[in-house]
Structure 1
């Protein structure tokens, strides 16, 4: 990777990817919980999730719990790989600066 992944590099998307990466593979998190973690508004989070979903880095599943809508978000294998490469690239930059 010659440069940072522009999809992940945006601060809110980086927080989303870091939070999802902390979960076991294929495990999901509820939209409301993720919103609290990344400290984003509902609309802002939704827009960033749409970008990540379009890139194939996350999957969203919409359903209902009783009559309440629920959205679950999980990192895809390609998203996990992209995040690992992103972190590796950052480490390379830091190692080169030392």
Structure 2
């Protein structure tokens, strides 16, 4: 079972979107992620570097293509972060 836990690394909006996109696939090409987020190469690179430093994402270069993937640790962290966000939202909804 995934432990609900807020994750500062994932929480930044672009990083949360990156993790969510990568969670749905085995790997995704860098330009596809960049276009989906509508950011520059440098902005995406900075966010991916943060995720990679936390061991949440991996980068693989095959010929001239760069592939991004969520690691097992990244998938677990994302699941915990999403669970915590859900818990927070449910608490807010219960207070109505």
After TM superposition, is the score higher than 0.5?
yes
**Structure number with higher relative contact order (C-alpha < 8 Å, ≥ 6 residues apart):** 2
Root-mean-square deviation (Å): 1.4
Paired residues for 1:44-83 under 5 Å? 44-64=43-63, 69-83=64-78
Identify unmatched segments of 5+ residues in structure 2: none
Matches within 5 A, 1:1-98: 4-23=6-25, 27-64=26-63, 69-97=64-92, 98=94
Q: In structure 1, how many angstroms separate the alpha carbons of the residues matched to 2:16 and 2:90?
A: 21
Q: Distance in 1 between matches of 2:10 and 2:22?
A: 12
Take 1:85 and 1:5, find their aligned partners in 2: how far apart are those partners? 8
Q: Give the distance between the partners of 1:37 and 1:84, measured in 2 at CA.
A: 21
Q: Give the gaps of 5 or more residues in structure 1.
A: none
**Scaled by the length of structure 2, what TM-score is found?**
0.88
SS of the residue aligned with 2:6? coil
Distance 1:52 1:88 in 2: 19
